[in-house]
Amino acid sequence: MSANLESRVLVVDDCEPLRYLKTQYLLEAGFLVSQADTGRAALRSIETERPDIVLLDVNLPDMHGSEVCREVKTRWDLPVIYTSSVDVPAELHGMADGCLVSLDEEDLVDAVRKALEGASLPKPQPGAGPAGGGNCLTCAKRSSPQEIAAQVRIFESGLLREVLDASSAFMAVLNENREIVFCNRAALSLAGVASLPAALGLRLGEAFHSVHTTQSPEGSGTIWFCQTCGAVRAVFDGPRVDATNWDFRMVRSVNGVEETCELMATTLPVKDREGFVVCTLADFSQERRRQANERLFFHDILNIGSGLKGCAALLRDQLGDGTNAELAGMVEQCAAELLSEIQNQRQLLQAEAGQLSVTPEAVGALKLVQTAAAQYRERSESKERTILIDPLSDDLQMETDPAILSGVLGRMLENALVATEPGGTVTIGCEATQGGIEFCVHNPGVIPRAAQRQIFQGPLSARGGGRILGTYSMRLLTERYLGGTVRFESSPLHGTRFVAHYPTAVVNAAVEAAA
């Protein structure tokens, strides 16, 4: 405790309830605490108060957390812990001394203590170019007008041009110097080039009016900014036999206005034509903006929900027994359910987009079952219903992503609770099977035959017409991300039973402990 009293923590978060909660947790642990609600306010506070560590929110209203972290590391070399209610992008992990996606008091205080005890990471080098110090990335050789004209004639076939121009895909053919020798009408439109002759001999960055093409007399692809853009890598990195896909970002100037263009390039060498590459482009700019807005929405709404839940918990603890404490407990539970629904929706969107990351670890299957049952006993869906843990459940260890599997179990329980009449019982358990583990959730209801044919086919709602909630995401998460399978059985005699099977090496923890 005495060591904490000597340490000052700067809490940087634009969400006031979260900033308040973090401050209270740290004060109770014996730390001195300063606060800032913007990146610039944080830098001013560090200049005047010189804290020992910075708890830094990733998304701030005036500066991104990475910019603040870079300034802190460069100017003061202080420990920095990123905090977020959503997640911390993988590319930021190496910049700070830790990442925390949790508002749990113990996790927060423990992370601060560990960062203060550990050594600082090497300072990043803002603005550094590629190794070697030079600006030139690639060979600056350009084709002569005669060479370009000869290469263009190869693609002058009337039928070939008609077919390519009729395609809605953005296609271009590049020579060994990365210059355009043909592109169809869709690609010309995407690049904003008036006609094919105006594009011939240009590189991708030049055709797209990249803002960096004028910074070198050799043109696009020859300065280190092009490494960030990715157009050079998109065309020429990787295998030269099969098709290769690359995402890249380009800052372009259109009628004097700068805009960011997010593209995916698929490149394939032309058979029997040495040096020629077919490049097909897909414009994902609008999709990327949607994803960025979606990420910001989830960050903000989870911040608000986490702050509400934490403040309600503090209020309940301070009120003690009585009606007001009961109301505070109800507010806390509502906030917990709100957070759960938001996190479930975010997990589903990430899963459908193929963006859900899997982090396997050793976990206890029975512990996951017990945690899921405890959480859902507090949910509104379980009112006047009972959740039991199957007494025959096996105490097993497995390797899986606990967050994703917990999402599956939660959906199985929610589905069963909604389908169960007041006074009914839902049972959840786990057992070892040949080559794996099965998680089972049973309820006494029966799924109508018409609804049975639609299960797993889409994100249906259980709150109308007896349809099933969450079965689509159960299968999506299990089969695409956890390598398992989901099935169900439903009959008037035995009720309904959903089973999630995961093939894994199973260890009976109780037997192992006894040995």
Q: Is the pLDDT of residue 242 over 60?
A: no
Q: What torsion do the CA atoms of 405, 408, 409, 410 make, to the nearest 10 degrees?
A: 120
DSSP state of 124: P
Which secondary-structure segment (H or E) carries 24? Answer: helix 16-28
Higher pLDDT: 114 or 261? It is 114
Indicate the pLDDT class of residue 461, thresholds 50, 70 and 90. Answer: very low
368 and 399 in contact (C-beta within 8 Å)? no
Cβ(321)–Cβ(81) below 8 Å: no
Percent of the chain with pLDDT over 70: 75
Q: Is residue 195 exposed (0-12), middle (13-18) or buried (19+ Cβ within 10 Å)?
A: exposed
- What contacts 24+ positions apart, CB below 8 Å, involve 308-313? 308/17, 308/335, 308/338, 309/103, 309/335, 309/336, 309/339, 310/17, 310/18, 310/21, 310/103, 311/17, 311/20, 311/21
pLDDT of 440: 95
Reading the block at residue 34, the tokens are 């300063």
| 350/33 Cα distance (integer angstroms) | 36
| Least reliable range by pLDDT among 71-75, 324-328, 441-445, 446-450 | 324-328
The pLDDT score that the predictor gives to residue 462 is: 41
Phi-psi sector, 435: left (phi>0), alpha (psi -120 to 50), beta: left
Please give the pLDDT value at position 305: 73
**Coil, strand or helix: which one is 494?**
coil
- Portion of the chain with pLDDT greater than 90, in percent: 16
Q: What is the mean pLDDT of the chain?
A: 76
Residue with tokens 């895909």: 169
Confidence band of 106 (pLDDT split at 50, 70, 90) = confident
- pLDDT-derived band at 133 (thresholds 50, 70, 90) equals very low
pLDDT for position 137: 40
pLDDT digits (tens, 9 = 90+) for 37-76: 888 899 999 998 889 999 988 878 777 788 888 889 888 9
Which distant-in-sequence residues (6+ apart) come within 8 Å of 284 by Cβ?
247, 262, 263, 264
pLDDT of residue 372: 92
State the average pLDDT over residues 203-223: 63
pLDDT at 388 over 90: yes
Would you place residue 131 in the very low, low, confident or very high pLDDT band (cuts 50, 70, 90)? Answer: very low
Weakest mean pLDDT among 172-176, 196-200, 213-217: 213-217
pLDDT at 92 exceeding the cut of 70: no
Q: Cβ(504)–Cβ(400) under 8 Å? A: yes
pLDDT at 437: 92
Note the pLDDT of residue 514: 38
DSSP structure class, residue 464: S
* Residues in contact with 487: Cβ distance below 8 Å, sequence separation at least 6, in sequence order: 498, 499, 501
**Is there a contact between 7 and 53 (Cβ–Cβ < 8 Å)?**
yes
DSSP H or E segment with residue 18: helix 16-28
Tens digits of residue pLDDT in 409-440: 988 998 888 888 889 999 999 999 887 899 99
Query: What topology does CATH give the domain 2-117?
Result: Rossmann fold (3.40.50)
CATH code, residues 145-283 = 3.30.450.20
More confident residue, 332 or 83: 83
Spatial separation of the C-alpha atoms in residues 404 and 351, rounded to whole Å: 10
DSSP class of residue 401 equals -
The domain at 361-514 falls in which architecture? 2-Layer Sandwich (3.30)
Q: Is the confidence at residue 359, as pLDDT, over 90?
A: no
Give per-residue pLDDT as tens, 261-307. 777 778 788 776 667 888 887 777 666 666 666 666 676 677 777 77
Alpha-carbon distance values, 439 to 68, 145, 475, 486, 503 (Å):
45, 69, 13, 10, 12
